[in-house]
Chains A and B, each alone.
Chain A
Amino acid sequence: MLHNLLLIKRQTPSKTMIYLSPLLAIFLTLIASVILFLIMGVSPFAALHSFFIEPISTAYGLTELAVKATPLVLIGVALSLGFRAGVWNIGAEGQLIMGGIFGGATALFFYENTGFYIVPLILIAGIIGGMCWAGIVAFLKTRFNANEILTSLMLSYVAALLLNYLVHGALRDPDGMNFPESRLFSDSALLPILLEETRLHIGAIIALVTVVFAWILLSRTLLGYQIKVTGDAPAAGEHAGFSHSKIIWITMFISGGIAGLAGAIEVSGPIGQLLPTISPGYGFTAIIVAYVGRLHPVGALLAGLLLALTYLGGETAQINLRLPVAVTGVFQGLLLFFLLASDVLIQYKLKLNKSVEVAP
């Protein structure tokens, strides 16, 4: 069978396939998950219903989707910018945690105070935290040529341990009977809620604004142009006088800052305190968001919603069908696999062997 199918390189990449490929990948992931559920002895229909329909069949469910999508969209957009430039910041999880630490520490510092200024300070502190962490990576890359994939990832482990240390020590709740968690933040340090009776907070709007800004940055500014050229044709970029180091610093600062912002939003939004773990791997899932979203801000918005649904669905399926939460991770991995495989159709087309001419 396979012998009869050939991949023929296209003259120009297919624009249609760029957008069809994620849909094809989603379709293939669904088929694979049906097989997975059958192996696990669960009715595929019930499982898919729990995963993808039930969580968003109520208004409250939709707001929860937005809550989960907020960090994913933010970081997905942030990583898209870096990946476009060929800067592989894989450590967004660490930058998110540092943003959480900085934002959380700010919230605890103003514990006795009230005032409208506290929330903006928390968010700014989060951005600074993420930028610092990403700045280390940019420094090591530009100054010492150290691989940013490995350094940013190693720093993620360090950030997780640092948070763990702080909630066991300096930032621990003094009245918390030695539990490793901080005080609950004061009301002035919590993000304003958009809809009564839900957890939907102002962070969702911040994420939408970020999408718009990133879109404008990429399509309408010189910096956006430089980012794209550096990624697509580094040599041409150098020739045009775009500094590669500058692009690394800027994309790392932007992606780290936004990841840090997402961390601050998480701790002052849905969580409301510092815990030993503040993210179920949003920083890593955001890599998938960026890819499924075609490294485009608007794509990242849609992909962020989809991946948020896998988190929500995982929780629902755990309650309804006692499926392990780990199914979510398998879903996400499969989706990225199928996407990468489907992407072959952007550069190549399938052809039956019969009609192929023999090379001269």
Chain B
Amino acid sequence: MDILIPAILTIITAATPLLFAALGELVTEKSGVLNLGVEGMMIMGAVIGFVVVHYTGSSVLAILASMLAGALLATVFAMLILVFHASQVPTGLALTIFGLGLSALIGQSMIGIAYDGIPKISIPVLSELPIIGEIFFHQDILVYLSLLMVIVVWWFLNKTRSGLILRAVGDSHDAAHAMGYSVFKIRLLATLFGGAMAGVGGAYLSLSYSPLWVEGMTAGRGWIALALVVFASWRVGRVLLGAYLFGGITILQLHAQALGIGIPSQVMSMLPYLATIVVLVLISRDKKQIKLNAPASLGKAFQPSR
């Protein structure tokens, strides 16, 4: 038990930023847009969240600001691909390069500043329960929010008319356009949502996971989130599963050392990246399965004929 509870808590903290970013990208991709700039939007969320909490002391404002930062960067992406007809792959890469650079510039004066981390919320009575109390009912607001978003996104995509339209745009933008839906507006909104979610995922890193600012602190998590969407075959429930699986891999890294297993720390740090590759290989080798689940218009430019 002494190991188990901290282990589960670490899984949750490692999974939460991935869950946010992957859920957001899932919605973006469902609308047919492939935004490879998740890493850039995440790191902007991380730095803006930290700056705002440092100056205002309000974690709520910090979280909102991080969402805004992610969404703003996503707006740039959306404008480039939707208005300027730029291709999605290089534009997403540009977003990541730009985000990494700008965050380093903004965060310059934040290096070495400490923050206590967002307060944990204890749900009365329930948090008193043995074991599950600490695991499920004594977390910070972002952990609860991430789980809530799983339900919201699932419900939106599968149970609402708007969700159906969004999926239609992702599967066949020509048909959706012919039916009178605005491909532009729907893709813009889906991309903004993805940006806000990546931003808050980044904020979780700088406000809660390790509450300080370090240049490049997302360390590839945005890319892992992209891989998670493929792993999940664009299904919400499997994004949740995937994020927690990756959280589990991260705890191996932290707890193997505590248990005195003689594996060099760098090798342990490779695990999430190697696991991402393994997962991609396992999922992608079945081409038909990918074709069946991926939004059919994913990554393709929309060119209204009239």
Query: Chain A: residues with CB nearer than 8 A to chain B?
Result: 7, 9, 88, 90, 140, 143-147, 149-151, 153-155, 157-158, 161-162, 164-165, 168-169, 284-285, 287-288, 291, 324, 326-334, 336-337, 340-341, 343-344, 347-348, 359
Contact = CB atoms under 8 A, between A and B. Distances in A.
Given A150-B276, A165-B267, A333 B102 contact: yes
Contacts of A328: 101
Given A164-B266, A340-B86, A330 B280 contact: no
Contact of B104 (A157, A168, A329): A329
Interface stretch (B162-170, B177-185, B281-289): B281-289
Given A7-B85, A330-B102, 14 more contacts: A146-B280, A147-B230, A150-B277, A151-B280, A154-B224, A161-B269, A326-B102, A327-B101, A332-B98, A333-B94, A333-B99, A337-B80, A344-B84, A347-B85
Interface string B217-253: 0011001101100100000000000000000000000
Q: Which of A144, A162, A291 has the most chain B CB within a 10 Å cutoff?
A: A144
Contact of B220 (A147, A157, A330, A333): A157
Nearest to A157: B273
A193 to B, nearest CB: 32
Given A147-B284, A157-B220, A162 B277 contact: no
A330 B287 contact: no
A146 B264 contact: no
B89 A158 contact: no
Interface of B: 36, 76, 80, 84-87, 89-91, 93-95, 97-102, 104-105, 108, 215, 219-220, 223-224, 226-227, 230, 264, 266-267, 269-270, 273-274, 276-277, 280-281, 284-285, 287, 290, 303, 306
A157 B84 contact: no
A88 B89 contact: yes
26 contacts: A140-B280, A145-B285, A146-B277, A146-B284, A146-B285, A147-B227, A153-B220, A154-B273, A154-B277, A158-B273, A161-B269, A162-B270, A165-B267, A285-B97, A288-B97, A326-B105, A326-B215, A327-B101, A329-B105, A333-B101, A333-B102, A334-B98, A340-B90, A340-B91, A340-B94, A341-B80
Nearest to B275: A154
A336 B219 CA distance: 22
B93 A287 contact: yes
Given A157-B219, A328-B101, A344 B85 contact: yes
Closest 3 CB pairs of A and B: A329-B101, A333-B98, A326-B104
Nearest to A86: B89
B97 A336 contact: yes
B90 A158 contact: no
Contacts of B97: 284-285, 287-288, 329, 332-333, 336
Nearest to B100: A329
B91 to A, nearest CB: 5
B241 to A, nearest CB: 19
A343 B223 contact: no
Contacts of A164: 266
A144 B284 contact: yes
A285 B303 CA distance: 31
Given A158-B270, A161-B266, A340-B80, A330 B98 contact: yes
Contacts of A158: 270, 273-274
B233 to A, nearest CB: 14
B93 to A, nearest CB: 6
A340 B269 CA distance: 35
B269 A291 contact: no
A82 B36 CA distance: 18
A343 B93 contact: no
B278 to A, nearest CB: 10
Contact of B85 (A150, A157, A162, A348): A348
B108 A326 contact: yes
Nearest to A325: B104
Contacts of B226: 150
Nearest to B109: A324
Nearest to A137: B277
